[in-house]
Structure 1
Amino acid sequence: MSEQDDDKREFDLRWVDGAEHKEPSARARMLAARWKDNPPGPVPFRADAEHRGRRSSGRSSWVSTVVILGCVAAVIVLLGYAHIGPY
């Protein structure tokens, strides 16, 4: 094929968007077939309190932050004592 034929066959998004009928995706067809006989029940926007994971009082996030900062400080001190670097 020549380049002129390729230019004529260039994909035109306006033509595609203007299509009268758009085929649903495979997943949409599968779910429509499944729900035809057995429709899903209502699902709340947010999970109920009993289904959500339980968090402690927020203390664990501070503990993990302190542990990470402590490790970074320890590595800096150790590198300072080991004289690793361009000195």
Structure 2
Amino acid sequence: MSERHDDEREFDLGWADSAEHKEPSARARMLAARWKDNPPGPVPFRPDPEHVGSRRRSSWVSTAVVLGCVAAVIVLLGYINFRAPY
């Protein structure tokens, strides 16, 4: 009997969304308690332009290093294959 009753029940999202009181999540309650005595400082939405340029430069440098290593391995394998006696 209870199995049939469970199949008939369905969670109604419209009913849940229309609730008058919604309890905040545990993380929201934790942050609210922490910020009550010590509120966070303002955080800019976008980073400073100087930080963006350095990040782009470092990504190009790392890409060049990886491609250089791949090229060096290809040349080394070709040299070893060329020098190997048959």
TM-score by length of 1: 0.58
1:38 lines up with 2:38 in the alignment: yes
Unaligned runs of 5+ in 2: none
Larger helix proportion, structure 1 or 2?
2
1:13-41, Cα deviation, whole Å (9 max, x unpaired):
22212212111001101111121222111
Mean Cα displacement is larger for which, 3-12 or 17-26? 3-12
1:65 CA displacement: 2.2
Paired residues in the alignment total: 78
Corresponding residue SS for 1:63: helix
Distance 1:6 1:60 in 2: 57
Q: Distance in 1 between matches of 2:32 and 2:61?
A: 46
Matched to 1:3, the amino acid is: E
- Cα deviation, residue 69, structure 1: 5.3
What percent identity do the matched residue pairs reach? Answer: 61
Structure 1, unaligned runs of 5 or more:
82-87
- Residue 67 of structure 1 is matched in structure 2 by 69
